[in-house]
Amino acid sequence: MILTANVVLATINGKYFAPNSGNVVTAGAAGTVGDSAGVLVPVPGTLNDLTILLDANVATEASTFTVYINNVATGITVAVAIGAAIGSDLIHSAAVAAGDYISIECPTNTSTGWTNGAVALQFIPA
């Protein structure tokens, strides 16, 4: 199953959002956003293959997106390079249990180099 989101990323700089959900929560210190930004996992499984697609990226710095499980960063990250439109992490994976919450951290885009994007994250039920 592919979890997807098409989002106006410029409005969620430095915030967390949930794939397959409209929930967006402002981040305090890392890991303090609570479950409100996450999408609930109904069955155990594995997350992998995070892909980020940005619109006309003229950012002056790389943009790193990170998958969180229950407010804890996983090794699943994508750093979209300066001027690039797409980035993927096809190597890392993370196990999830039923009842876990998945969210994705959107980096602060101080250079306003992009505004819209699409996110895809694969979930494989156990």
* Stretch 41-52: mean pLDDT: 92
pLDDT for res 98: 93
Topology (CATH level 3) of domain 2-125: Jelly Rolls (2.60.120)
pLDDT for res 109: 60
Identify whether the C-beta of residue 54 lies closer than 8 Å to the C-beta of residue 120. Answer: no
- How many C-beta atoms lie closer than 10 Å to residue 2's C-beta? 11
57-71: burial string, b at 16+ Cβ within 10 Å, e else: bebeeebebbbbbbb
Residue 28 has pLDDT above 50, yes or no: no
Domain boundaries, the chain: 2-125
List, for residues 7-21, the tens digit of each pLDDT value.
Answer: 655 555 555 566 655
The answer for residues whose C-beta is within 8 angstroms of residue 78's C-beta and 6 or more apart is 50, 51, 52, 64, 65, 87, 88, 89
* Stretch 38-60: mean pLDDT: 84
Residue 121 binned pLDDT confidence (cut-offs 50, 70, 90): confident
